[in-house]
Amino acid sequence: MIAEKTITWFAACSVSDVPANGGVCVKNNDTQIALFHFTRRDEWYATQNECPHRMQMALSRGLIGTQNDEPKVACPFHKKTFSLVTGECLSGDACAIKTYEVKVEDGVVFIGIDE
Amino acid sequence: MKVVVIGNGMVGYKFCEKLVAKNTAANISIVVFGEEVRPAYDRVHLSEYFAGKSADDLSLASKEWYSENGIVLHLSDPVISIDREKKTVFSHAGVTESYDYLVLATGSAAFVPPIPGVEKEGVFIYRTIEDLELMIGWAKKSKKGAVIGGGLLGLEAAKAMLDLGVTNTQVIEFAPRLMPRQIDDAGSKLLHSKLEDLGLTIHTSKNTTAIEGDAAITGMRFSDDSSFDVDMLVISAGIKPRDELARAASLEVGPRGGITVNDNLQTSDPFIFAIGECALHKGMIYGLVAPGYEMATVVVNQLTAIANNTPLGDGGSFTGFDMSTKLKLIGVDVASFGDPFVSGDGVRSIVFDDSVKGVYKRINVSADGKQLLGGILVGDAEQYNMLLQTCKNKVVLPPNTEDVILGARGGEGDAGAGVTSLPDDAVICSCEAVTKGSICDAVKLGYETVDGIKKCTKAGTGCGGCVPMVKDLMLHTMKAAGKVVRNVLCEHFDYSRQELFDLIKLNELRTYDDVLNMLGKGDGCELCKPPVASILASLWNEVILKKGNDTAQDSNDRFLANIQKGGTYSVVPRIPGGEITPDKLIVIGQVAKKYNLYTKITGGQRIDLFGAHLSDLPNIWEELIEAGFESGHAYGKSLRTVKSCVGSTWCRFGLHDSVSFAIRVEERYRGLRAPHKLKGGVSGCIRECAEAQSKDFGIIATEKGWNLYVCGNGGSKPQHALLLASDIDEETCLKYLDRFLMFYVKTADPLTRTATWLNKMEGGIDYLRSVVVHDALGMNAEWEAAMENHVNSYECEWKAAIETPELRKRFTHFVNAPEQKDPTVVFDPMREQKRAKEWK
């Protein structure tokens, strides 16, 4: 049996608030979420904003791109890269980041928080 | 055929590895007995165990490797006897194995001299991982250490003592000098003083007569009636071949130990071989790993020839081995090669002895000066590989023989012979016996990376000392094959930075996406975005945050500030030439107070304001710009500062007005995007207070004008700038600088400073001068025009950012709560200011 995940969607911002092929930081109560609009691929991603390497709230300011077609973000501090899809660290470290689901409705970007 | 191997040390393992590789017909089965609890590990690098390497790191192959290759491995189970008639061995645990051929790789044990008291607690030998573990435990409460043995192994043990924190350690050598087998008196003297600098106390010609103490060691006594207190002693005075099993089986052994073998490495029983440190070949025990590996190969060749009934060729005999060695002892390079001591008629020696720098080099040359016979290097062994090859391959020496150890002084060209002059059968990797020919062949087969060559040939996988030569050979071979060594940006662009620069210009591309669509593939990444964004900025001089290029900028450029620990930013306004008015100083102070910033004078004569929240940046800059400041580009790969001394306006020595010239130069090149940061300096006289010769470009006043120096830098590998032109006037100086900077911007690889760029340039400074001064490429007019265009189109990016609403709105931490700052930012107080909280 597969347990059903309960996802709570909250409205983060409007599409135009996010720079093309870049990220912004979204506040959800006490949680900071990095939201990325990968315009080139017409995809949206959301992850934790904190880079697990040195615990810095900075991933939303990182460069995004791909590695072998896997979307990723590079932390501005030491260029550790993380998959935007799985959250796995692509620079060979053991740490991983949390990812969130994203949907867009009527120009508004929603992030899914699973309880 | 069934082969039983007794001993699972480095040579025993290498024998298995080589036999598995050659046993393609799978008609040889292998059984191995080892007495240690672990499979074979790297004993050569044992001391790294203290430096944090684990037993696993040192392991040569896992237990699984043996089983995957069909080898039966008995660990912690020494063989106790051999029945040669029944061709059977019996182990301690009761295992009985018959054999067709038996290989003894029993190695050696530490030689412990018969000194009364060696059995006391606190006395150790230095041989196995278990020995090290015992030492680690004891060293914790030890204060005064000693090592008996000043040879190769003794000094390794002394290093181990230092690593263990027993810094008060004495080395006791019986012979009159250190490393008596490898180096001569003069070399030894130098090594002696270098080791004493590191805190070791060295005694030579000292003979230990007793180890004192009750249960544990408390002191040592010597034949000269002296004594001292010691609470830990390591004996590392040499090795003793493990021949007891062979002795018991009535195999022939040498008078001072060692299992006697012939050139085929057969013992007195033709079905039993001995290899490695237990074997006595022509009266010699080889205590190094490379000859042991060679012995393993010789036996493997014979066994596979017998098993497959194929002709043996000439790989079945051992003809002795070169004992050349190079090692790094506690940070001191020591090497000897060929015959280090040879002297007499027909031999001449060249000796270089620099006791100031601590370098000693000696080479022994044949009477006609054409052949290198051997030598010694202490303090600097960089030339070891080349000298060893020159010696082994009898390469004819250059006319100025001293160049091979001193390097060419003055004039041009390589010192002596480079890798290209070596014959194909020159052994490059002596650990794995890989020749120049096989490395070049691997490159020709398409192994065009050092890692690839390592995997394919095993070269460089032992001590690693030959890796630079392997890389040189790889590059030479690729070049000789007409291959351009591709130097591409990343997986998204098959071009070098220089190629992209030309293509972007030719196609007039202006955004990152246009460049990627036309010249690249995929979706880009953090490796290609910043260099492409930098090229676009260099070419078109547009505001870097223009839509489409903003998110391609490296993140410091994207926020026009330097991200610092904790996620806040630092702000550096431009202060050209380091000249600033009192009013402007007051504004900086007021801004810093208002936004609670930490202030510090930078190395480039500017003031850095740290700890600014992202959302405060536009407000801070609004106030700074209002007071007449502009961006200092401290965040960009672009011109930083032009440092100046006060010059002739105040200084009694100054020849010209260095401050005015520095301001002029800084304002000319401000905002110029380049492959890496650029720094300049202008000094008003030869006293050089602006340290201009450590900058990418430095200008120094002379009686007649200015001298222009280029391509210096500080940083991790400091390099002085070189003179490009002398006694030129200001206009000529700027013209040369325009051309020089544009040449660099156009052709350097990403993140390459001017110094490295010049180091890689064929022809060096002479070529650069021919281009910049004599227009050898015919590009100067174009470059001057490009620089003029840059100068005319410059605008302050911070001014543009605060005046453009859609740019300004990006400077917030929370997109959905722009008025709030990042609550995780925390500062600690420090010396009346603050600092970022230390990260975890």
Tell if the CB–CB gap between A26 and B815 is shorter than 8 Å. Answer: yes
* d(CA A52, nearest CA chain B) in Å: 10
3-state secondary structure of B585: helix
Looking at residue B416, its pLDDT comes to 36
Tens-digit pLDDT profile for residues B220-255: 999 999 999 999 999 988 888 999 999 999 999 998
Domains in chain B: how many in total? 3
* Residues listed for chain B: 840
Indicate if the pLDDT at residue A53 is higher than 80: yes
Domain assignment of residue A102, yes or no: yes
Looking at residue B679, its pLDDT comes to 96
Domain assignment of residue B358, yes or no: no
Find the helix or strand (DSSP H, E) in which B385 lies: helix B384-392
Domain assignment of residue B659, yes or no: yes
Pairing mode, if any, of strands B108-110 and B101-104? unpaired
Q: Which among B286, B308, B330 is the end of a domain?
A: B308
For chain B, give the percent of residues with pLDDT over 70: 96
Looking at residue B412, its pLDDT comes to 39
Looking at residue B410, its pLDDT comes to 45
* d(CA B608, nearest CA chain A) in Å: 19
Domain assignment of residue A54, yes or no: yes
pLDDT greater at residue B557 or residue B396: B557
Q: Which domain holds residue B24?
A: 2-109+241-308
Q: Which among B290, B308, B326 is the end of a domain?
A: B308
Domain assignment of residue A61, yes or no: yes
Q: Give yes or no: residues B68 and B184 share one domain.
A: no
Q: Which domain holds residue A103?
A: 7-114
Mean pLDDT of B535-552: 88
* CA torsion, ordered B49, B54, B55, B57, to nearest 10 deg: -100
- Distance (Å, whole) CA B428 – CA B433: 7
Q: Give yes or no: residues B100 and B247 share one domain.
A: yes
Taken in order A99, A100, A101, A105, the sign of the CA dihedral is negative
pLDDT greater at residue B773 or residue B416: B773
Domain assignment of residue B138, yes or no: yes
Q: Residue A30's closest chain B neighbor by CA? A: B823
Domain assignment of residue B39, yes or no: yes
Mean pLDDT of B65-94: 94
Facing residue for A19 by CB, picked from B491, B556, B810:
B810
3-state secondary structure of B255: coil
Strand partners, B132: none
Measured at the CA of B768, the angle between CA B767 and CA B770, to 5 degrees, comes to 65
CATH for B678: 3.30.413.10
Tell if the CB–CB gap between B523 and A71 is shorter than 8 Å. Answer: yes
Looking at residue B486, its pLDDT comes to 65
Domain assignment of residue A2, yes or no: no
Mean pLDDT of B101-105: 96
Indicate if the pLDDT at residue B466 is higher than 80: no
Best interface-test mutation with A: which of B490, B532, B551, B804 has the largest number of A CBs within 10 A? B551
Please enumerate in sequence order all residues whose Cβ is within 8 A of that of B347, keeping only pairs 6 or more positions apart, or say none: B364, B365, B366, B367, B373
Are the CB atoms for B822 and B613 separated by under 8 Å? Answer: yes
Facing residue for B522 by CB, picked from A27, A56, A66:
A66
Backbone φ/ψ region at B411: left (φ over 0), alpha (ψ -120 to 50), beta: left
Q: Of the spans B9-13, B380-384, B482-486, which averages the highest pLDDT?
A: B9-13
Specify the DSSP class assigned to residue B631.
B
Are the CB atoms for B299 and B266 separated by under 8 Å? Answer: no
- Six-digit token string for B463: 């001590």
For chain B, give the percent of residues with pLDDT over 90: 52
Best interface-test mutation with B: which of A13, A21, A50 has the largest number of B CBs within 10 A? A21
For chain A, give the percent of residues with pLDDT over 90: 74
Average pLDDT, chain B: 88
Domain assignment of residue B631, yes or no: no
B651 is in an annotated binding site: yes
pLDDT greater at residue B258 or residue B350: B258
The confidence band for B575, taking pLDDT boundaries of 50, 70 and 90, is very high
**A/B interface, count of CB pairs below 8 Å:** 99
- Six-digit token string for B461: 């996988």
Tens-digit pLDDT profile for residues B176-228: 888 888 888 888 988 888 888 878 899 999 999 999 999 999 999 999 999 99
Indicate if the pLDDT at residue B409 is higher than 60: no
pLDDT greater at residue A81 or residue A114: A81
Tell if the CB–CB gap between A26 and B820 is shorter than 8 Å. Answer: no
Facing residue for B567 by CB, picked from A41, A57, A64:
A57
Q: Give yes or no: residues B104 and B118 share one domain.
A: no
Check: complex ipTM more than 0.90:
yes
Tell if the CB–CB gap between A72 and B814 is shorter than 8 Å. Answer: no
Q: Give yes or no: residues B88 and B119 share one domain.
A: no
Are the CB atoms for B436 and B473 separated by under 8 Å? Answer: yes
Looking at residue B464, its pLDDT comes to 65
User: B558 touching A, CB under 8 A?
Assistant: yes
Mean pLDDT of B5-18: 94
Amino acid letter, B231: D
User: B840 touching A, CB under 8 A?
Assistant: yes
Are the CB atoms for B110 and B148 separated by under 8 Å? Answer: no
Domain assignment of residue B73, yes or no: yes
CATH for A74: 2.102.10.10
3-state helix, strand, coil in chain A (%, to 5): 10, 55, 35
Are the CB atoms for B21 and B299 separated by under 8 Å? Answer: no
* CA torsion, ordered B738, B742, B745, B746, to nearest 10 deg: 180
Best interface-test mutation with A: which of B751, B816, B819, B821 has the largest number of A CBs within 10 A? B816
Q: Residue A53's closest chain B neighbor by CA? A: B840
Looking at residue A1, its pLDDT comes to 47
Looking at residue B182, its pLDDT comes to 84
Tell if the CB–CB gap between A38 and B523 is shorter than 8 Å. Answer: yes
Domains in chain A: how many in total? 1
Q: Give yes or no: residues B81 and B168 share one domain.
A: no
User: B530 touching A, CB under 8 A?
Assistant: yes
Which letter, b or e, does each residue of A77-93 get, where b requires 16 or more Cβ atoms within 10 Å of its Cβ? beebbbbbeebbbbeee
Q: Give yes or no: residues B175 and B116 share one domain.
A: yes
Pairing mode, if any, of strands B232-235 and B123-125? parallel
Facing residue for B555 by CB, picked from A32, A41, A62:
A62
Please enumerate in sequence order all residues whose Cβ is within 8 A of that of B831, keeping only pairs 6 or more positions apart, or say none: none
> What strands lie across the sheet with B272-274, from one edge to the other?
B71-74, B29-33, B2-6, B101-104, B272-274
Domain assignment of residue A30, yes or no: yes
The confidence band for A2, taking pLDDT boundaries of 50, 70 and 90, is low
- Six-digit token string for B194: 């270098």
Mean pLDDT of B599-625: 95
Indicate if the pLDDT at residue A45 is higher than 90: yes
- Six-digit token string for B607: 């003031």
Nearest by Cα to B765 from B725, B793, B798? B725
Are the CB atoms for B132 and B58 separated by under 8 Å? Answer: no
Tens-digit pLDDT profile for residues B487-509: 678 889 988 888 899 899 888 89
Pairing mode, if any, of strands B168-172 and B144-148? parallel
pLDDT greater at residue A51 or residue B180: A51
Domain assignment of residue A1, yes or no: no
pLDDT greater at residue B299 or residue B286: B299
Indicate if the pLDDT at residue B51 is higher than 50: yes
Mean pLDDT of A30-42: 94
B490 is in an annotated binding site: no
Tens-digit pLDDT profile for residues B711-740: 998 876 788 999 999 999 999 999 999 999
Indicate if the pLDDT at residue B405 is higher than 90: no
Facing residue for A55 by CB, picked from B563, B815, B839:
B839
3-state secondary structure of B735: helix
- Distance (Å, whole) CA B443 – CA B447: 5
Looking at residue B329, its pLDDT comes to 66
Nearest by Cα to B569 from B631, B489, B626? B631
Mean pLDDT of B263-276: 95
Q: Give yes or no: residues B100 and B121 share one domain.
A: no
* CA torsion, ordered B343, B344, B350, B352, to nearest 10 deg: 60
Facing residue for A41 by CB, picked from B523, B566, B820:
B523
Unique residue bearing structure tokens 């246009």: B514
Give A72's contacts in chain B (Cβ within 8 Å). Answer: 525
- Distance (Å, whole) CA B417 – CA B403: 10
Looking at residue B448, its pLDDT comes to 82
3-state secondary structure of B205: coil
Amino acid letter, B55: A
Which letter, b or e, does each residue of B40-50 get, where b requires 16 or more Cβ atoms within 10 Å of its Cβ? bbbebebbebb
Dump the DSSP string for B427-479. Answer: EEETTTTEEHHHHHHHHHTT--SHHHHHHHH-TTSSS-TTHHHHHHHHHHHHH
CATH for B64: 3.50.50.60
The confidence band for B470, taking pLDDT boundaries of 50, 70 and 90, is confident
